[in-house]
Amino acid sequence: MDNNNDFQIDIELVRQLVDGTIDDDNSERLLKLPRKDVGRFFQYIEVLQERVKWTDRILMRLGDNLYIVKNKENKRVTKCSCGQEFGDYRENWKLNCKVRIRKTGESMAEVYTPEPSVPEQGWQEIREFFCPNCATQLAVEVVAPGYPIVFEMFPDIDTFYRDYLGVPLTDESEDWYCDHTKKVTSEWAKG
């Protein structure tokens, strides 16, 4: 049965997978599928959609609490589980976060063990990004001081839906897959 390309697992198993409650046998069964079952992505999205309070369509998940959604104004925006929006998904969402930077050896040692693994002060810094509404920590990056904020994942959503899933989005456009982060920072430079 697992060799059948039309194989479809029960959505309840996907719920358990998302919640981390799936048992070992079923987990192994899913891992050993020769091909991922048809429709798994949409089942997964359906389960995620059940678990958020808002109804905007989830296009993709970026992290435990972070999603790219199509909102009520038909814009593709990055959104937190709590409902906070971080703007157009083509702009690095981190620019709209609260940020804590650990620069001193002492502050970095608070989150690193053992001692030899602590980044060297002056050569590296730890940036922690928080949702300004619910205060959830959404990302952490360790970089050299002055390094631009890392845009961790900027997916080509249209190509993914069209070529991989075979279900093109109705608002497909060449303009979507174009990083707009510099538009935001250039506005800052003017201010």
Write out the residues near Zn ion by the rule CB under 5 A: 80, 82, 84, 131, 133-134
Between 22 and 80, name the residue whose CB sits nearer to Zn ion: 80
Between 69 and 80, name the residue whose CB sits nearer to Zn ion: 80
Between 96 and 107, name the residue whose CB sits nearer to Zn ion: 96
To Zn ion, the closest distance from the beta carbon of 60 in angstroms equals: 17
To Zn ion, the closest distance from the beta carbon of 87 in angstroms equals: 14
- Radius of gyration of the chain from Cα atoms? 20
Between 67 and 161, name the residue whose CB sits nearer to Zn ion: 67
Q: What angle do CA 60, 136, 98 make, to 5 degrees?
A: 100
Separation of alpha carbons 85 and 82, rounded Å: 9
To Zn ion, the closest distance from the beta carbon of 90 in angstroms equals: 20
Q: Are 153 and 135 in contact (CB under 8 A)?
A: no
**Helix axes 11-19 and 40-50, enclosed angle (nearest 10):** 60
Residue 101 forms beta bridges with which residues?
127
- What the block records as the tokens of 151 is 């845009």
Between 121 and 137, name the residue whose CB sits nearer to Zn ion: 137
Residue 143 forms beta bridges with which residues?
125
Entry field: residues in the chain: 191
Runs of H (alpha helix) within 20-97: 24-31, 40-50
Between 77 and 108, name the residue whose CB sits nearer to Zn ion: 77
Runs of H (alpha helix) within 60-180: 105-109, 157-159
Peptide bond into 114 cis (omega under 30): yes
